[in-house]
Amino acid sequence: MIWRKEDIVKLEKRYRAAFINSINGFKSANLIGTRGIEVNTNLSIVSSLIHLGSNPALLGLVFRPDSVERHTLENIRSTGFFTANHVHAELIDRAHQTSANYPKDVSEFDACGIKLEYIENFFAPFVKESKIKIGLQFEEEHKLMNDTVLVVGSVHLVEFPDNALLQDGFLDIEFAETAAISGLDSYHTTKSLRRLSYATTDKDPVVIQSAPSA
Amino acid sequence: MIWRKEDIVKLEKRYRAAFINSINGFKSANLIGTRGIEVNTNLSIVSSLIHLGSNPALLGLVFRPDSVERHTLENIRSTGFFTANHVHAELIDRAHQTSANYPKDVSEFDACGIKLEYIENFFAPFVKESKIKIGLQFEEEHKLMNDTVLVVGSVHLVEFPDNALLQDGFLDIEFAETAAISGLDSYHTTKSLRRLSYATTDKDPVVIQSAPSA
């Protein structure tokens, strides 16, 4: 089936959101932890955490203008710090519940039964049971044409399971049971197919390593 | 294990790239098709295609400054059009090979054995065997602090398998066998856990639908 721009514009709003949110492919599943200047904490599931660079290590996070994640964005702007915490299968139901529109003075850590921890005096709170946790500092933001905001953060610390780190630096997030998201509300586990060697024009790629979880 | 900013800076370059590219979570797997003003075509695998908005329908694509995808970026800038084509298991080896640094006058469609097709006079070429294909028009670009470029494109057409579309607009990309990427070179299939209802503060989320592929 082919849908054109003029077909997509006519779709019912929630139907269109479900469809368009599905088309780019699989997305990351992270809980973003923040703390306000008045000490209240906030936790929000996002599928928009992206890689932007390795040196310096930078990640990006996209915020819709009308999003319930606005408390998170306010906290990032006012304090300069946030955390990203991988969501694994056991966390999915509670992580999804953080997308409900709780009042600003309610912490989703409490409301959704998710334990908070602080690591090494980092300002923003982490999710205790997440297996991969990233502490980030706000660097810059870009307003896009639809009023969506891209926040760029630099990586200040990463906590991860020792045995998920392979010898070439690859962190096996499937071994750490990290989930993937599709659309607005669909959660998936993964099964490794293979890793492929750095591609060069003179040969075909070869399998360099199967993940330990394969 | 905890690695801090000062540890990450000291890592060997390729090791650090493998590590930092792993930490945000799972990523989408798409082949970006473009055509130059002089008719040559280009195809490049990316893990950076992201959702930016549903109305208007906008996707984003991140380009590193030193990337082999620069021919793709040049074509997008000069012609205004590009396509995104989902990568499924059978396509992975050939899709990965498009990341090799071919000269500008070599089409990765030919070099990597991937069949091209044009759909409805759309300017940029699609990947014939992809199950989900998106035609995009360049809208704007943003240069980030590390010289990375975020390209924003509007969705002009989407081709998808009829039976992957569920009744609420969700497109079941797992049913369409779309792959996920982790790190720089790891390819994964997925297994649906569940879809969860829109979260509200007065109740826990419930399973609204299991994907047909579950």
pLDDT confidence bin for B69, thresholds 50/70/90: low
- Tell me the pLDDT of chain A averaged across its residues: 94
A3 interface with B at CB cutoff 8 Å = yes
CB B196 within 8 A of CB A47: no
B120 interface with A at CB cutoff 8 Å = yes
A146 interface with B at CB cutoff 8 Å = yes
Percent of chain A past pLDDT 90, that is, above it, reads 87
pLDDT in tens, B24-59: 999 999 999 999 988 799 999 999 999 999 999 999
ipTM: 0.95
State pTM to two decimals: 0.95
Size of interface A-B (CB pairs under 8 A): 380
Q: Among B58-62, B93-97, B194-198, which stretch is predicted with the lowest mean pLDDT?
A: B194-198
Nearest to A102 among B89, B158, B201 (CB): B201
Q: How many CB atoms lie within 10 A of CB A11?
A: 18
Q: What is the pLDDT of residue B65?
A: 78
Q: What is the pLDDT of residue B90?
A: 97
pLDDT confidence bin for A212, thresholds 50/70/90: low
CB B138 within 8 A of CB B77: yes
Give the fold, CATH level 3, of A5-209: Pnp Oxidase; Chain A (2.30.110)
Angstrom CA distances, A90 to A83, A129, A134, A180, B187, stand at: 19, 10, 19, 13, 23
Give the fold, CATH level 3, of B28-209: Pnp Oxidase; Chain A (2.30.110)
CB B50 within 8 A of CB B153: no
Contacts of B205 in chain A (CB under 8 A): 93, 96-97
Q: How many CB atoms lie within 10 A of CB B204?
A: 15
- Tell me the pLDDT of chain B averaged across its residues: 94
CB contact under 8 A, A1 and B197: no
Tell me the average pLDDT across B144-151.
97
Burial class for A86, CB neighbours closer than 10 Å (0-12, 13-18, 19+): buried
Nearest to A173 among B47, B111, B182 (CB): B182
Tell me the average pLDDT across B70-74.
90
Q: What is the pLDDT of residue B214?
A: 40
Query: Which amino acid is residue A95, in one-letter code?
Result: A
Tell me which of B22, B132, B213 to substitute to probe the interface with A (most A C-beta atoms closer than 10 Å).
B22
CB B108 within 8 A of CB B164: no
CB contact under 8 A, B156 and A4: yes
> Is the pLDDT at A87 greater than 90, yes or no?
yes
Burial class for B142, CB neighbours closer than 10 Å (0-12, 13-18, 19+): middle
pLDDT confidence bin for B66, thresholds 50/70/90: low
Between CA A20 and CA B170 the distance in angstroms is 8
Between CA A38 and CA B167 the distance in angstroms is 44
Contacts of A83 in chain B (CB under 8 A): none
Contacts of B46 in chain A (CB under 8 A): none
Domains in chain B: boundaries: 28-209
Q: What is the pLDDT of residue A68?
A: 58
> Is the pLDDT at A141 greater than 60, yes or no?
yes
Please identify among residues 122-141 of chain A the ones whose CB lies closer than 8 Å to any CB of chain B: 132, 134, 139-140
> Is the pLDDT at B165 greater than 90, yes or no?
yes
pLDDT in tens, A16-56: 999 999 999 999 999 999 999 887 999 999 999 999 999 99
Tell me which of B122, B158, B197, B207 to substitute to probe the interface with A (most A C-beta atoms closer than 10 Å).
B158
Q: What is the pLDDT of residue A205?
A: 81
Please identify among residues 87-106 of chain B the ones whose CB lies closer than 8 Å to any CB of chain A: 89, 92-93, 96-102, 106
Q: Which helix (H) or strand (E) holds B7?
A: helix B5-10
